[in-house]
């Protein structure tokens, strides 16, 4: 695929008829189509999505100096509109359109591609929402003519609950959760927590901290309040003492994060490791069992469902269950769809309260390529 793709007649016809079939299915399931503008205000992406999306976003300046971008995904503009319109929930929205991504260092990858997808906003029953979206994504791939695919699943809530169960200062728990989506880094932090030293750098009492600040009264506050700095400085001093993880627990978690394999087997290994570490995550594990059962009733072979503990998708807005569908094209394995739960997005975009959200996006051009490969092989 070229960096700047040109669709010839057969290619665009095939994509169009596939899109018609997908949107028809989404419509029949109660998902109505919407279409955000291709040009979006840059800040909604720059402020809300992770570095991975940001460094791939094409930004431009309009002649009046306003910063715009070519939409790098459709989820954020759709959610933003739902917030602005004060939409009634649950809302079921479908889309099909181009998204644009800069591909630094990978000149052979396309800078624009089609995505067809659905968003389910504000359904309080999380398990029901997950079943609905999983079922619809799988049905959509089958409608698009692809039945030979595998699944990769994970759950960011599982990791969040695991971190919450650790005897660590709140700041460190937040830090571990914040970085879950970065492969490798969490392991480094864990190793440091289990095996590093925790020497305090700041005095531990308020008077000494305040004296340090008074001595620097000429320096700018730079957007932070004095109280904020004092509080964090005291936390830092206190946590240096508390900042230690039983090395056995740290190692058990590192091992747990490394688990990747057939889902049922992986969950059994997780249970065993948690037992060693003395951590109870039964509700989260039960939710994962239920998802596996759902997949079975949807006719997905359990052997083709991989559970990857360290699976956060490279977009940090996901908050819970995440999944990807994979197939093969002539180049090798290729991700054809992906989705998950992103419960904090609506609030970040201005919603007055938490709105549950789950969605899925299908890479339709890749589905076609995978179909051609499967047919030709």
Partner 1 sequence: MAAITLAIPSKGRLKDNCNAWFASAGVTMEQTVGARGYRASFSGFPDVEVMLLSASEIASSLLAGDIHLGITGEDLLREEAPELTGRMHLIKPLGFGFADVVVAVSGYWIDVATMADLDDVCAAYGQTHRRRLRVATKYAQLTRSFFAQARISDYRIVPSAGATEGAPAAGTAEVIVDITTTGATLKDNGLKILDDGVILKSQAQLAASLTADWSAGARKACETLLSRLDPSSPLYAALAPQLR
Residues that bind partner 1 (CB under 8 A): 46-47, 50-51, 54-55, 104-105, 171, 174-175, 178-179, 182, 185, 201-202, 209, 212-213, 216-224, 228-229, 232-233, 236, 316, 348
Q: What is the smallest separation between the CB atom of 188 and partner 1, expressed in angstroms?
A: 9
Q: What is the smallest separation between the CB atom of 234 and partner 1, expressed in angstroms?
A: 9
Q: Are 317 and 342 in contact (CB under 8 A)?
A: yes
CB-nearer residue toward partner 1: 8 or 218: 218
CB-nearer residue toward partner 1: 228 or 258: 228
Q: Are 235 and 203 in contact (CB under 8 A)?
A: no
Q: Which of 202-207's residues contact partners 24+ apart within 8 Å by CB, and which partners?
A: 202/233, 202/236, 202/237, 203/237, 204/234, 204/237, 204/238, 206/230, 206/234
* H or E stretch covering 25: helix 9-28
CB-nearer residue toward partner 1: 177 or 366: 177
CB-nearer residue toward partner 1: 48 or 92: 48
- Residue 223 phi/psi, 5° resolution? 85, 0
Whole-angstrom Cα distance, residue 180 to residue 256?
13
Q: What is the smallest separation between the CB atom of 13 and partner 1, expressed in angstroms?
A: 37
CB-nearer residue toward partner 1: 50 or 145: 50
Q: What is the smallest separation between the CB atom of 334 and partner 1, expressed in angstroms?
A: 25
Q: What is the smallest separation between the CB atom of 182 and partner 1, expressed in angstroms?
A: 6
To which residue do tokens 């990978």 refer? 106
Whole-angstrom Cα distance, residue 29 to residue 240?
54
Whole-angstrom Cα distance, residue 340 to residue 342?
7
């Amino acid at each position: 695929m070229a960096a700047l793709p040109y669709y010839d007649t057969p290619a665009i016809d095939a994509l169009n008829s596939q899109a018609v079939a997908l949107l028809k299915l989404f419509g029949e399931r109660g998902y109505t189509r919407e279409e955000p503008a291709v040009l979006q205000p840059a800040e909604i992406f720059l402020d809300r999505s992770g570095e991975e999306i940001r460094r791939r976003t094409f930004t431009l300046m309009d002649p009046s100096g306003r910063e715009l971008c070519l939409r790098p995904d459709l989820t954020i503009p759709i959610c933003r509109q739902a917030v602005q319109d004060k939409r009634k929930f649950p809302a079921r929205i479908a889309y099909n359109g181009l998204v644009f991504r800069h591909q630094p260092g990978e000149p052979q990858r396309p800078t624009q591609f089609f995505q067809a997808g659905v968003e389910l906003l504000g359904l309080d029953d999380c398990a029901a929402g997950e079943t609905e979206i999983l079922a619809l994504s799988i049905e959509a791939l089958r409608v698009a003519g692809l039945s030979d695919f595998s699944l990769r699943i994970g759950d960011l809530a599982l990791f969040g609950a695991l971190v919450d169960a650790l005897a660590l200062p709140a700041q460190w728990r937040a830090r571990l959760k914040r970085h879950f989506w970065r492969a490798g880094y969490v392991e480094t932090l864990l190793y440091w927590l289990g095996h590093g030293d925790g020497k305090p750098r700041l005095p531990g009492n308020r008077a000494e901290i305040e004296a340090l600040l008074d001595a620097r009264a000429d320096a700018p506050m730079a957007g932070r309040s004095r109280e904020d700095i004092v509080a964090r400085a005291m936390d830092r001093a206190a946590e240096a003492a508390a900042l230690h993880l039983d090395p056995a627990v740290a190692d058990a978690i590192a091992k747990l994060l490394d688990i990747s394999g057939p889902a049922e087997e992986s969950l059994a290994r997780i249970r065993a490791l948690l037992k060693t570490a003395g951590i109870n995550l039964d509700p989260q594990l039960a939710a994962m069992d239920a998802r596996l059962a759902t997949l079975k009733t949807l006719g997905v072979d359990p052997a083709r469902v991989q559970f990857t503990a360290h699976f956060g998708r490279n977009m940090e807005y996901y908050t819970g269950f995440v999944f990807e569908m994979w197939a093969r094209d002539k180049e090798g394995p290729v991700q054809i769809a992906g989705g998950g739960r992103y419960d904090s997005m609506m609030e970040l975009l201005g919603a007055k309260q938490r709105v549950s959200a789950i969605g899925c996006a299908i890479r339709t051009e890749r589905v076609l390529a995978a179909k051609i490969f499967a047919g030709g092989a």
